[in-house]
Amino acid sequence: MTSSFASSSPTTIRFSWTHSRLILGIESEIEVAGRAHDGEEATRLAGELVPDVVLMDLSMPVLDGFEASRRIRAEAPATAVVVLTGSSYAEDVEKAYDAGASGYVTKDRIAQDLVRTVLGAVN
């Protein structure tokens, strides 16, 4: 799993999955800034790149997506975190929002919801 980031003018996003990158990459309002392979790297890169949005998988190695989201929001409050994951469990949704997520998209809803959720997180 990886995490992705984005910033404004256009919105810059760093992504977790290749198919997400393809979906978001065709949007003229979104610029892909980079990719992290674990939660610790996602936290570090969010501080370096200062993106508008980080796409976060909950199942990140080294540091899980919940804790990485918490740290990113604490260190860069202006950076929104959108969770992009396979889990639709209510407990995970609640825990993600408690960790500071601005949006939550399950992998089965990527095509329908991802671009709208990412752009909504920065507006």
- Asked if the peptide bond before residue 61 counts as cis, ω within 30 degrees of 0, the response is no
* 118 contacts 30 by C-beta, under 8 angstroms: yes
Alpha-carbon span 17 to 11, nearest angstrom: 18
Mean pLDDT within 25-38: 71
Alpha-carbon span 16 to 122, nearest angstrom: 18
* 14 contacts 44 by C-beta, under 8 angstroms: no
What range does the domain containing 74 cover? 3-122
pLDDT over 80 at 7, yes or no: no
In the chain, how many domains are there?
1
Task: Provide, rounded to the nearest whole percent, the portion of the chain with pLDDT above 90.
Answer: 28
pLDDT over 70 at 96, yes or no: yes
How is residue 36 annotated by DSSP?
E
Mean pLDDT within 13-38: 60
pLDDT over 60 at 70, yes or no: yes
Query: Which CATH number does the domain housing residue 97 bear?
Result: 3.40.50.2300
Alpha-carbon span 107 to 89, nearest angstrom: 13
* 38 contacts 63 by C-beta, under 8 angstroms: yes
Alpha-carbon span 66 to 37, nearest angstrom: 15
